[in-house]
Structure 1
Amino acid sequence: MKGLLVDDDELYARTLQRSLARRGIETAIAFDAASALVLAREHLPDFALVDLKLGADSGLALIEPLRALRADMRILLVTGYASVATAVESIKRGADDYLPKPATVPTILRALGVDVPATPGDAPSADDTMTPLSRLEWEHIQQALAETDGNISAAARLLGMHRRSLQRKLAKRPGPERRWVDE
């Protein structure tokens, strides 16, 4: 199986590429929409994992051209900013699945229809649990701060909250995720 990873986050893309390679899945990486289409034409991958936000581009715009290159290509849209509206839009445009970031390798493999063996008696692993809401909120706040160049008042307006509420949330950095333990 060969795939195409399209993500402007180079660290995430390379880490995911190494993780998939350990499972025997060959992938090419594109960091923008134009190079993604060039690579897709050259390699005709079995699947494409496309980030929703690609700098100034949108991963939604890649779905139809990728589907036109290969009708049976599995197209997975991933995003750190999941919403019902973008999920519906991605499926309408022809995506096969919509995953919140950070999507784990077992989650991606299941979305691709690959069997992920489970060891009997194992408790759910970190790969099988959802990202805690506090972590998602923290990442969303960090994105708003990045978009406003660290301006807390502007970020608060962007998030639709009072500046002081945002300051309180920033003071409470989320702790490590708790693991589920079978007693």
Structure 2
Amino acid sequence: MNTASEQPPERQLVIVEDDASFARTLTRSFERRGYAVISASSHEELLVLLQHNRPHYAVVDLKLGGASGLACVQDLRASDEAMKIVVLTGFASIATAVEAIKLGASHYLAKPSNTDDIEAAFDLSDGNADAPVDGRQSSIKTLEWEHIHQTLVETDFNISEAARRLGMHRRTLARKLEKRQLK
């Protein structure tokens, strides 16, 4: 956990990321752009940081170890309604994108995303009515994965409970998750 409480909040950014190497890379990149960066690797660390800091920007990893970054989004939004929050994930799904936005995220990006992508997402405050709606059809595998991921979100990433709800053996679900990382 790192703090920077002296910086004005309009240029203060919090990064909630459990991958220390990626968090360091993002931190350095945003600091070069003039942001004062504070970081946390878990929801608990974020709560401690928010006691003494009021960042205006946040970058949140969707999957923090075995926990969901969605709780971080909810607490960040509760701490400041105007905060610009970008959620990053290694596997973007419709289900988690919808939940992140409903909880207060400003934008949702799939990894790999760089500092340019994230900073551009901070600047996007309005939706785009001209966004194409005739995208490619989802494959059966993609639909299955989105259903699995939605069930994991609903069960707070409890593998045993998700497997029960999906009607599959826990080991089968674990094998599927090993093949396609959630991060």
User: How far apart in 2 are the matches of 1:90 and 1:51?
Assistant: 11
2:47 is aligned with 1:37: yes
Give 2:94's aligned residue: 84
1:92 Cα deviation (Å)? Answer: 1.0
Alpha-carbon spacing, 1:68–1:15, altered in 2? closer, same or farther (3 Å):
same
Q: Counterparts of 1:3 and 1:156 in 2: how far apart (Å)?
A: 35
- Tell me which residue corresponds to 2:167: none
- In the other structure, the counterpart of 1:16 is 26
Deviation at 1:41, TM superposition (A): 2.6
Please report the RMSD computed on the Cα atoms of aligned residues, expressed in angstroms.
2.6
> What is the aligned partner in structure 1 of residue 118 from structure 2?
108
Q: CA–CA distance in 2 between the matches of 1:43 and 1:55?
A: 24
Flag as ranges the 4+ runs of structure 1 deviating above 4 A.
153-157
Aligned mates of 1:53, 1:103 — CA distance in 2: 15
TM-score normalised to the size of structure 1? 0.62
Structure 1 residue aligned with 2:176:
158
Question: Which amino acid in structure 1 is aligned with residue 114 of structure 2?
Answer: T
Deviation at 1:154, TM superposition (A): 6.0
Deviations 1:36-70 (A, max 9, x none): 12112311101110100011211111122111111
Counterpart pick for 1:64 among 74, 83, 101 = 74
Would you say how many aligned residue pairs link Structure 1 and Structure 2?
125
Contiguous gaps of at least 5 residues in structure 2: 1-10, 125-158, 160-170
| Structure of greater Rg | 1
Equivalent position SS for 1:12:
helix
Contact 2:77 2:103 in 1 (8 A): no
Rounded to whole Å, the distance in 2 between the matches of 1:77 and 1:22 is 21
Question: How far, CA to CA, are the matches of 1:93 and 1:156 in structure 2?
Answer: 28
The answer to whether the 8 Å contact 1:49/1:78 transfers is yes
